[in-house]
């Protein structure tokens, strides 16, 4: 990859037991720049045998890693964190080249990703067990916290750095070792993290990275008895497939799945703040985030004013390659994404919605999509039921608070939700009525390392980040000492 200050960060090999390796079959998978559709490199197309080797390497490394003191593990994570920040520009460039998001956003993702490593380095020092008062005088009971073991980490393309660190940092802090399967669309960000982990002194086999097409790698991670936990971020379809598969060996699971976030704007909202929140929530990463506002519900009294303010801001957005300064919306990840977005828009238009934004000049390249505001959205449209995962902002109109809550909760998903009001009583009523793992009041952003991140209903199981995030990688052991009378 051209223009990297440190060219060694770009690796076209998997990482197993401290060795950078090709696939046994010699097969590779091309990785494409979504801005140009040109290949930027290729990674090994690994399968079952390489995944088994990676699991064995992780199991071997686990023996020593779990015995390190928590402070030693914390120190190694701190060193990894420092290297991520020292190589921020290169990591961001790799990320933008394979994923497409604007370079400024990619830099933000590297900082965000690194924040989990710092946070869990700190949490490693606070893995405290506890004591239980004994029911009899001759016994003492303590509860020990122990690592789960070898973890399979499966991550998506939309945040190729942070979705890995949000899992790997707590896993390593807890004393687990990992086998990472990054998205086949964005493996280079994961491999660069592997290079920096090596440089930080994290021992061979603690982090293994298996690249390639998902099914055979996934099947091995799911079936292999040595893997004691799977942490997955991605679609609900694949998440439920993994959940079914993991049942056979009764693995622990963390699932961060799809969302269908509502963003509700009440008549009593600060409209400028609501527009800012909608822009952040809807258009970050070109609308390709699991927490992005998929349905913007606006109360009748401010509907026209909100639509006008939002569309003025959207009209000012520039679409282009993520490496071009000033670009707000980069290319979509692939043609399937573009087709889904177009299909949602066509379906909405056929059912009575209207585009109120201007048609922007799109650069050459098949994967660019115009950011849009649609008025007249209704719940029978496909974009109301499924994640559009693109820069399309559909505005639904409602009359009453009850109607807004019913609309907002009318989805099998329950990841993020947002609402705007200046009324304190309404703030509590609505905040408590929303059936989502995360609620933002007067903010369009809920993602940060200090707060629990995760969903309810079909948006998943477990929480990442915060103090809760490390518990996902720990088992409790009740240790009873008898005969003390
Ligand atoms: N809740 C969250 O925190 C969160 C965060 C980011 C993305 N997401 C969701 O992820 C989706 C977008 O990401 P995606 O398109 O990469 O999702 P995806 O489910 O297609 O893929 C996610 C990962 O699973 C792998 N995979 C696919 N089939 C597999 C199989 N049979 N066995 C094992 N692994 C398999 C993929 O290669 C990839 O690494 C959206 O639905 C989005 O909402 C959720
Ligand atoms: O795509 C959803 C992610 O979890 C991204 S973020 O954590 O909100 O940045």
User: Is the Cβ–Cβ distance between 173 and 64 less than 8 Å?
Assistant: no
Structural domains of the chain in order of their starting residue, each with its CATH number: 7-257+459-478 (3.40.605.10), 261-441 (3.40.309.10)
Least Cα distance to 54 among 167, 217, 170 occurs for: 217
How far is it, in rounded angstroms, from Cα 101 to Cα 337?
14
How far is it, in rounded angstroms, from Cα 324 to Cα 326?
6
Tell me which of 438, 447, 459 to substitute to probe ligand 2's pocket, judged by most ligand atoms within 8 Å of the beta carbon: 447
The packing angle between helices 70-86 and 187-200, to 10°, is 120
User: Is the Cβ–Cβ distance between 32 and 42 less than 8 Å?
Assistant: no
Pick the catalytic residue: 50, 56, 98, 256? Answer: 256
User: Is the Cβ–Cβ distance between 94 and 110 less than 8 Å?
Assistant: no
pLDDT tens for the chain, 485 residues: list them. Answer: 879 999 999 999 999 999 999 999 999 999 999 999 999 999 999 999 999 999 999 999 999 999 999 999 999 999 999 999 999 999 999 999 999 999 999 999 999 999 999 999 999 999 999 999 999 999 999 999 999 999 999 999 999 999 999 999 999 999 999 999 999 999 999 999 999 999 999 999 999 999 999 999 999 999 999 999 999 999 999 999 999 999 999 999 999 999 999 999 999 999 999 999 999 999 999 999 999 999 999 999 999 999 999 999 999 999 999 999 999 999 999 999 999 999 999 999 999 999 999 999 999 989 999 999 999 999 999 999 999 999 999 999 999 999 999 999 999 999 999 999 999 999 999 999 999 999 999 999 999 999 999 999 999 999 999 999 999 999 999 999 999 99
How far is it, in rounded angstroms, from Cα 286 to Cα 295?
15
Which residue's CA is minimally distant from atom 8 of ligand 2?
A: 447
Tell me which of 289, 294, 388 to substitute to probe ligand 2's pocket, judged by most ligand atoms within 8 Å of the beta carbon: 289
Q: Supply the DSSP string of 467-478, one letter for each residue.
A: THHHHTTEEEEE
159 CB within 6 A, ligand 2: yes
Please, which residues bridge with residue 28 across strands? 44
256 is catalytic: yes
Shortest-distance ligand to the CA of residue 240: 1
Q: What is the pLDDT of residue 1?
A: 81
DSSP 203: P
Q: What is the pLDDT of residue 277?
A: 98
**Where does residue 386 rank: exposed (0-12), middle (13-18), buried (19+ CB within 10 A)?**
middle
How many other CB atoms are there within 10 angstroms of residue 483's CB atom?
6
Sign of CA dihedral 91, 93, 98, 99: positive
- The complex's ipTM works out to 0.96
Least Cα distance to 391 among 434, 351, 362 occurs for: 362
Please, which residues bridge with residue 419 across strands? 264, 441
How do strand 261-265 and strand 293-299 relate by DSSP bridges?
parallel
User: Is the Cβ–Cβ distance between 444 and 280 less than 8 Å?
Assistant: yes
Q: What is the pLDDT of residue 2?
A: 79
């Amino acid at each position: 990859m051209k223009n990297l200050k440190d060219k060694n960060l770009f690796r076209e090999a998997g990482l197993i037991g401290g060795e950078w390796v090709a696939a046994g079959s010699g097969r590779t998978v091309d990785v494409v720049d979504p801005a140009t559709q040109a290949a930027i490199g290729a990674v090994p197309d690994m399968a079952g045998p390489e995944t088994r080797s990676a699991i064995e390497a992780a199991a071997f490394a686990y023996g020593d890693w779990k015995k390190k003191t928590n402070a030693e593990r914390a120190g190694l994570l701190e060193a990894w964190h420092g290297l991520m920040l020292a190589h921020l520009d290169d990591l961001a460039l790799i990320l933008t080249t394979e994923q497409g998001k604007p370079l400024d956003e990619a830099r933000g993702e590297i900082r965000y990703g690194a924040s989990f490593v710092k946070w869990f380095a700190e949490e490693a020092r606070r893995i405290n067990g506890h004591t239980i008062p004994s029911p009899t005088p001759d016994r003492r009971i303590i509860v020990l916290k122990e690592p789960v073991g070898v973890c399979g980490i499966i991550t998506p393309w939309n945040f190729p750095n942070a979705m890995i660190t949000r899992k790997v940092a707590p896993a390593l802090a807890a004393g687990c070792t990992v086998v990472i399967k990054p998205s086949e669309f964005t493996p280079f960000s994961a491999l660069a993290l592997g290079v920096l982990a090596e440089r930080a002194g994290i021992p061979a086999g603690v982090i293994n990275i298996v690249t390639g097409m998902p099914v055979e790698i996934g099947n091995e991670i799911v079936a292999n008895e040595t893997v004691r936990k799977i942490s997955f971020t991605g679609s609900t379809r694949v998440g439920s497939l993994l959940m079914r598969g993991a049942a056979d060996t009764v693995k622990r699971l963390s699932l961060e799945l799809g969302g269908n976030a509502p963003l509700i704007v009440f008549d009593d909202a600060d409209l400028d703040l609501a527009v800012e929140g909608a822009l952040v929530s809807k258009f970050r990463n070109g609308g390709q985030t699991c927490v992005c506002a998929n349905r913007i519900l606006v109360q009748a009294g401010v509907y026209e004013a909100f639509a006008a303010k939002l569309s003025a801001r959207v009209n000012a957005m520039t679409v282009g390659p993520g490496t071009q300064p000033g670009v707000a919306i980069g290319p979509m990840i692939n043609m399937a994404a573009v087709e889904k977005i177009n299909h949602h828009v066509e379906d909405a238009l056929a059912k009575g919605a209207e585009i109120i934004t201007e048609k922007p000049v799109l650069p050459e390249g098949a994967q660019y999509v115009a950011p849009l505001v649609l008025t007249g959205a209704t719940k029978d449209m496909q974009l109301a039921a499924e994640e559009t995962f693109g820069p399309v902002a559909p505005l639904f109109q409602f009359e009453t608070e009850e109607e807004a809550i019913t609309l907002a909760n009318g989805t099998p998903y329950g990841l993020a939700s947002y609402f705007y009001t200046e009324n304190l009583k309404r703030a509590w009523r609505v905040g408590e009525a929303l059936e989502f793992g995360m609620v933002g009041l007067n903010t369009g952003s809920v993602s940060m390392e200090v707060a629990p991140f995760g969903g309810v209903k079909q948006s998943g199981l477990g929480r990442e980040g915060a103090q809760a995030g490390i518990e996902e990688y720990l088992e409790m052991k009740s240790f009873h000492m008898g005969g003390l009378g």
